[in-house]
Amino acid sequence: MPVTPLNVALVGYGFVGKVFHAPLVAHTPGLRLHTVVSGDAAKVRADFPDVRVRVGPEAAFNDDAVDLVVLASPNRTHAPLALAAIAAGRHVVVDKPFTVTLAEAQAVVAAADRAGRLVSVFQNRRWDTEFLTLRKLIDDGALGGIVELHSHFDRFRPQVPDRWRERPGPGAGLWFDLGPHLVDQALQLFGMPDAVQADLAQMREDARVDDWFQVTLRWPRRRVVLHASTLVAANGLRFAAHGTGGSWIKHGLDPQEDRLRAGIAPGSTGWDHDPLPGELVRADGETLRRETTASVPGDYRDYYAGIRDAIVGGTPPPVTPRQALEVMRVLEAARESAARGTVIDLAHTPRPAAGPASG
C-alpha cells in the first residue's frame, strides 16, 4: 500500500457519483478523494468539505496532483472524457457501461495502451454477496454442472422519471443501465456465450426507451437468462441456478446499495451482512434435501482496492480492458438481436482486440 494516497478526481456528483463512487473512494485505504467535478459545489462540500470542486473536467484532468480520474457522468460522455483524461496522463475508471458502442470502447482501450495508463470499468456487482455465494457454490461443485441460470434485477418504478436515462439517445434505457451488471456476472461465471437472443421492450405507458428486457445467452448445454423490469412489485427473485447436482434459489438484492443510499459508511458494522440467505436444494436418493446457504461477504471497496494495487504495484486491474470489451460485445449483440428479431452468433465472430498490456 502506498505511503502517500493516490489522489482521485471524480467527474459527476449525481446519484452514481454521490452514492457509490465518492464514499467508496473515501473509505478505501490508499485513495484520497481530491477533486470533484460538479456544477453544484454546495452539494459536494456538504458531504466532503475539504475536496476541490471544479466546474469543468479539463481542470481536473490537467492537475498533476491527480493520479486517477473516475467518470460518473452520463453514458454518452464516457468515451470522450476517458480519451481526454488519458491524453492528460491520468489513469481512468469508467462507470458502467464502459461506452455506448464497442468501437468507442476499443478506441479508449487503444489510447490507454499507447499511453501506458490504466483503464477499467466499475463493475461493483462482482462483489455482491449473492453473486459471490453463487460463484462459491459453482466452484465447490455443489450444483454439479450448471445448465440453467436465471439472473434477475427487477424493480417497481411505475412512473417514468425525467432524467437522461429515460430519454432517447446513445446509452439510454434499462439494458444499458442494468444489462452491464448481469452480463459481466454471467461472463465471470461461464465465459463468452456462443450466441445471444434478446427482447427489449417499453412496458410503461410513458416509456420512451426500453424499460424491460429478457436476454438469453446460449452455450451448447447451458442457457443463462438475464431479466430486468421496472414493473415487478411482488417478485424478489435474484438468482435461480439449476445444475446436474441441484438448485440454488436466492431472493433479494445485495444490501450494500441500500446502505450507501442511507449514508452508512462503507465497512461499518454489519456492512456485508445479507439478511436473506439462499436455499440449496439437492437430491438425497429420492428425497430432496433443502439447506440454507451462508452468504459470502461482499464489499464494493474491493474494486477500488484492486485499482489502487494495479496503479501502485502493477497487478492486473480488477476489471481488465479485455473483460470490459467482451461485456460491450454482448451488449451490442443483444441490441442487434432485439432490433432484428434474430439470434446473434458470437462463436464465429472475432473477439474484440485488446492491446498487449490490456489483459
pLDDT digits (tens, 9 = 90+) for 299-353: 999 999 999 999 999 999 999 999 999 999 999 999 999 999 999 999 987 766 6
Q: What mean pLDDT is predicted for residues 110-135?
A: 98
Confidence (pLDDT) at 287: 83
The string of pLDDT tens digits covering residues 21-58 is: 999 999 999 999 999 999 999 999 999 999 999 999 99
Can you tell me which residue has the cell 452514492? 19
Residue 223's DSSP bridge partners are: 148, 218
Q: Name the residue among 356, 353, 301, 309 with its Cα closest to residue 91.
A: 309
The last residue of one of the domains, among 248, 274, 299, is 299
* pLDDT interval class at 8 (50, 70, 90): very high
Residue 330 domain-assigned? Answer: no
The string of pLDDT tens digits covering residues 69-104 is: 999 999 999 999 999 999 999 999 999 999 999 999
Q: Are residues 206 and 103 located together in one domain of the fold?
A: no
Among positive and negative, which fits the CA dihedral 171, 172, 175, 176?
positive
Q: Name the residue among 274, 319, 335 with its Cα closest to residue 181.
A: 319
The reply to whether omega before 297 is within 30° of 0 (cis) is: no
155's grid cell: 424493480
Confidence (pLDDT) at 357: 45
Q: Name the residue among 138, 135, 154 with its Cα closest to residue 253.
A: 154
Q: Count Cβ neighbours within 10 Å for each residue of 208-238 and write b for 16 or more, e otherwise.
A: ebbbbbbbbbbbeebbbbbbbbbebeeeebb
The string of pLDDT tens digits covering residues 14-24 is: 999 999 999 99
Confidence (pLDDT) at 219: 98
Residue 359 domain-assigned? Answer: no
Backbone angles phi, psi at 251, to 5 degrees: -110, 150
Confidence (pLDDT) at 283: 84
Average pLDDT, the chain: 95
Q: Are residues 92 and 214 located together in one domain of the fold?
A: no
Residue 154 domain-assigned? Answer: yes
Q: Are residues 146 and 295 located together in one domain of the fold?
A: yes
Q: What mean pLDDT is predicted for residues 277-296?
A: 91
Q: Are residues 45 and 119 located together in one domain of the fold?
A: yes
Helices in 191-285 by DSSP H: which ranges? 256-261
Q: What mean pLDDT is predicted for residues 190-214?
A: 97
- The percent of residues in the chain predicted with pLDDT above 90, rounded, is 90
For residue 322, what are the CA distances in angstroms to 119, 148, 350? Answer: 10, 26, 13
Q: Are residues 180 and 98 located together in one domain of the fold?
A: no
Q: Are residues 256 and 115 located together in one domain of the fold?
A: no
Answer whether residue 356 shows pLDDT above 60.
no
Q: Are residues 189 and 209 located together in one domain of the fold?
A: yes
Residue 325 domain-assigned? Answer: no
Q: What mean pLDDT is predicted for residues 225-242?
A: 95
The last residue of one of the domains, among 274, 299, 324, is 299
Q: Are residues 260 and 145 located together in one domain of the fold?
A: yes
- Number of domains comprising the chain: 2
185's grid cell: 456476472
Residue 148 domain-assigned? Answer: yes
Residue 353 domain-assigned? Answer: no
Give the structural domain span for 286: 125-299
* 31, 6 contact by CB (below 8 A): yes
Q: Are residues 148 and 280 located together in one domain of the fold?
A: yes
CATH code at 175? 3.30.360.10
190's grid cell: 461461464
Confidence (pLDDT) at 352: 64
Q: How far apart are CA 63 and CA 359, in angstroms?
A: 28
Q: Are residues 150 and 277 located together in one domain of the fold?
A: yes
Q: Are residues 22 and 165 located together in one domain of the fold?
A: no
CATH code at 96? 3.40.50.720
- The percent of residues in the chain predicted with pLDDT above 70, rounded, is 96
Q: What mean pLDDT is predicted for residues 157-170?
A: 91
Confidence (pLDDT) at 2: 45
Residue 343 domain-assigned? Answer: no
Residue 226's DSSP bridge partners are: 151, 215
Answer whether residue 1 shows pLDDT above 60.
no
Q: Are residues 274 and 295 located together in one domain of the fold?
A: yes
Amino acid type, 222? R
Question: pTM score, two decimals?
Answer: 0.94
Question: Which is more confidently placed, 240 or 236?
Answer: 240
Residue 19 domain-assigned? Answer: yes
